Amino acid sequence: MLDRVVLGGSDGAIESVAITAALNGAREPFHTILVVGFAFAVAGALSMFFSSFLANRSEMDLLRIDIQRERMEIETEPEEEKAELEELLKKEGYDQEEVDVIMARLVKDKELWLKTQLNHELRVHMEDLATDPLARPAAAAAAFFVIALAALAPYAAASGYLPTLALSVSLAMAALFVLASRAFSPRNFNMRSGLESAAVGAFAATILFIVGLAISSA
């Protein structure tokens, strides 16, 4: 689910700061930017929800196909499947004696064998079928909406076009850095990814601000 939060939040930050920067550059009134920005946040969150839902459903359909195929192969080609799994276990660092113990256990329980085969051969998990189909799409949509509002919030207080733009871009960049670097997870922290994502947000805002300026002066 965390991957959906990062995806949704990152999209919300980049797209919201881009659209508001364009309107800022065009010198649209702040109340117009707020209305357009809020409508964009709602529409984007709905789009994120449904696209994520459809993607998740497709992933689950593929997982079901993989499970059925592996189940059939274990029934019809047990020796080939056993040899494949033994080779995978050896590549992961198990010695022959350990592999023999593991396989002796698995051949007695075909469901456990199936789960292990899926985990090691295809890197998928049967347990994923039991997850709530709405949880991940909802997380992506909520992250998009909240972060999009963060980039929009400075326009609720009139303080000049450039200062408001600077604050909006700063908030978006901060959100992008936290999400992409996974600063909330010290063990998985990646500063480079965070900086790259923040730079993308700043670049998008700059380009759209210039576009807005060009439109306003046309």
pLDDT, averaged per 10 consecutive residues of the chain (218 residues), comes to 84 93 92 94 95 89 88 89 87 86 87 86 76 86 94 88 92 92 81 90 91 81
Residue 34 CB neighbours (<10 A): 16
pLDDT at 170: 93
pLDDT at 43: 95
Q: Rounded to whole angstroms, how far apart are CA atoms 92 and 49?
A: 37
- Over residues 153-181, the pLDDT tens digits come to 999 987 789 999 999 999 999 999 998 88
Name the residue among 106, 191, 200, 206 with its Cα closest to residue 115.
106
pLDDT at 218: 59
* Contact present, 181 and 47 (Cβ < 8 Å): no
Q: What DSSP designation does 108 have? A: T
pLDDT at 41: 95
Contacts of 176 (CB under 8 A, 6+ apart): 10, 13, 14, 194, 197, 198, 200, 201
Which ranges constitute the DSSP H helices of the chain?
2-25, 30-76, 78-91, 96-106, 110-117, 135-152, 161-181, 191-217
The pTM assigned to this predicted structure is 0.78
